[in-house]
Amino acid sequence: MNLTEIAHFRYATKVFDPDKRIPDQLFDQIKTLLRFSPSSVNSQPWHFIIADSPEGRQRLSQGALGSYAYNERKILDASHVILFCAKNAIDDEYLLHLLDTEDQDGRYADASQKDLVHQVRTMFVNLHRFDFKDAQHWMEKQLYLNMGAILLGAGSLGVDALPMEGIDIQALNEEFGLLKQGYTAVAMVALGYRKAGDFNAALPKSRRSEAEIFTVLS
Ligand SMILES: Cc1cc2nc3c(=O)[nH]c(=O)nc-3n(C[C@H](O)[C@H](O)[C@H](O)COP(=O)(O)O)c2cc1C
């Protein structure tokens, strides 16, 4: 599939086939995308809870009770479900951890280069912490970038997906003890294969027109 074909193939899957499972070799590629997603100043402010069993999906479905019940079946019937969690805060200790990881991965030929990266990253992160005061929001943006890559990547593998913001963040934070680990649930992505007859697969896609959304400078 080329990009246009993938853009039309992928859609918000509303009914998953509970009998179809994503082969491990394909899901491993999705995990690679999760890990290698770009993020501002390589901040990687995320953690992913992955459910690939009925028990795991059951736990994640604790975030789809009450007024979120419209998403419950999607979580239970998908093959794999990923809960995207963002860091609640970004501190100096974490910035040093990033730096050491990069060093171990062989990115610094000498100490001065390493120091420079640390200074620049700290300056940029501190802008969000202390000037803009939007560090949490900024970190969540990094998660959404990752989520976008997953949706496109899944489509390229012929895997169906549904991103979900309609989840009970508080219930999920409690279920997985996320706050005390420094994270908060943000959104979920269910992955698997559409069930024949999913009403949403048959509906035409609807988007604002090219004329409305593009300004081409030529
Ligand atoms: C961030 C995000 C959150 C979404 N949350 C939900 C959700 O909780 N439940 C749901 O059924 N669809 C959800 N959707 C699906 C959107 O409604 C859908 O992507 C949009 O209508 C465009 O349709 P398409 O994805 O089929 O092209 C979400 C989509 C995105 C990108």
**Per residue in 78-119, pLDDT tens?**
999 999 999 999 999 999 999 999 999 999 999 999 999 999
Compute, in angstroms, the gap from residue 13 CA to the centroid of ligand 1.
Answer: 9
| Structural domains in the chain, sorted by start | 3-91+133-213 (3.40.109.10)
Question: pLDDT tens-digit profile of 114-161?
Answer: 999 999 999 999 999 999 999 999 999 999 999 999 999 999 999 999
What is the average pLDDT value for the chain, to the nearest integer? Answer: 98
Question: Which uninterrupted H or E stretch holds 184?
Answer: strand 183-192
At residue 34, the pLDDT reads 98
Question: Which uninterrupted H or E stretch holds 80?
Answer: strand 80-87
Q: What gap in Å lies between CA 154 and CA 215, rounded to an integer?
A: 29
Taking residues 64-86, what's their average pLDDT?
98
- Side-chain half-sphere exposure of 2, counting CA atoms within 13 A: 1
Question: Which uninterrupted H or E stretch holds 121?
Answer: helix 111-126
From the list 16, 20, 12, the residue with the least C-alpha distance to 147 is 12
At residue 33, the pLDDT reads 98
At residue 43, the pLDDT reads 98
Question: Which uninterrupted H or E stretch holds 171?
Answer: helix 169-175
Question: pLDDT tens-digit profile of 2-41?
Answer: 999 999 999 999 999 999 999 999 999 999 999 999 999 9
- CB neighbours of residue 6 within 10 Å: 17
Tokens of 6: 């993938």
At residue 158, the pLDDT reads 98
At residue 153, the pLDDT reads 98
- CB neighbours of residue 27 within 10 Å: 20
At residue 52, the pLDDT reads 97
Lining residues, ligand 1, CB within 6 Å: 11-12, 14, 71, 162-166, 187, 205
Best residue for ligand 1 mutational test, from 164, 199, 200, 206 (most atoms within 8 Å of Cβ): 164
> Is residue 126 classed exposed, middle or buried when 0-12, 13-18 and 19+ CB atoms within 10 A define those classes?
middle
Tokens of 160: 């169906």
At residue 112, the pLDDT reads 97
Q: What angle do CA 95, 40, 215 make, to 5 degrees?
A: 165
Q: What gap in Å lies between CA 44 and CA 38, rounded to an integer?
A: 8
Which residue's C-alpha comes closest to atom 13 of ligand 1? 164
Contact 163, 61 (CB under 8 A): no
- Atom number in ligand 1 closest to CA 203: 26
Q: Which residues of 89-106 are buried (b: 16+ CB within 10 A; e: fewer)?
A: ebeeebbeebbeebeeee
Q: What gap in Å lies between CA 23 and CA 32, rounded to an integer?
A: 15
Reported as a pLDDT band with limits 50, 70 and 90, residue 183 is: very high
Q: What gap in Å lies between CA 78 and CA 34, rounded to an integer?
A: 18
Compute, in angstroms, the gap from residue 191 CA to the centroid of ligand 1.
Answer: 13
